[in-house]
Amino acid sequence: MRLALADLFKARWTDAIHEEWINALLRRDQCFTRAKLERIRKLMDDHVRDAKVVGYEALIETLDLPDPNDRHVLAAAIRCNADAIVTCNAKDFPPDQLSAYAIEIIHPDDFVVYQLDMAAGTVCRILREQRMALKSPKLQRSSWQFYKNSSCRKRSLRSKNMLT
Compute the distance between CA of residue 84 and CA of residue 104 in angstroms, rounded to an integer. 5
Q: How far is CA 98 from the centre of its chain?
A: 18
Compute the distance between CA of residue 113 and CA of residue 144 in angstroms, rounded to an integer. 17
Q: What are the tens digits of pLDDT across the range 29-77? A: 888 899 999 999 999 999 999 999 999 999 999 999 999 999 999 999 9
Q: What are the tens digits of pLDDT across the range 104-136? A: 999 999 999 999 999 999 999 998 888 888 776
pTM over 0.85: no
> Which residues 6+ apart lie within 8 Å of 126 measured at CB?
2, 3, 6
User: Is the per-residue pLDDT at 79 higher than 50?
Assistant: yes
Beta bridge partner(s), residue 13: 52
| Higher pLDDT, residue 54 or 158 | 54
User: Is the per-residue pLDDT at 163 higher than 70?
Assistant: no
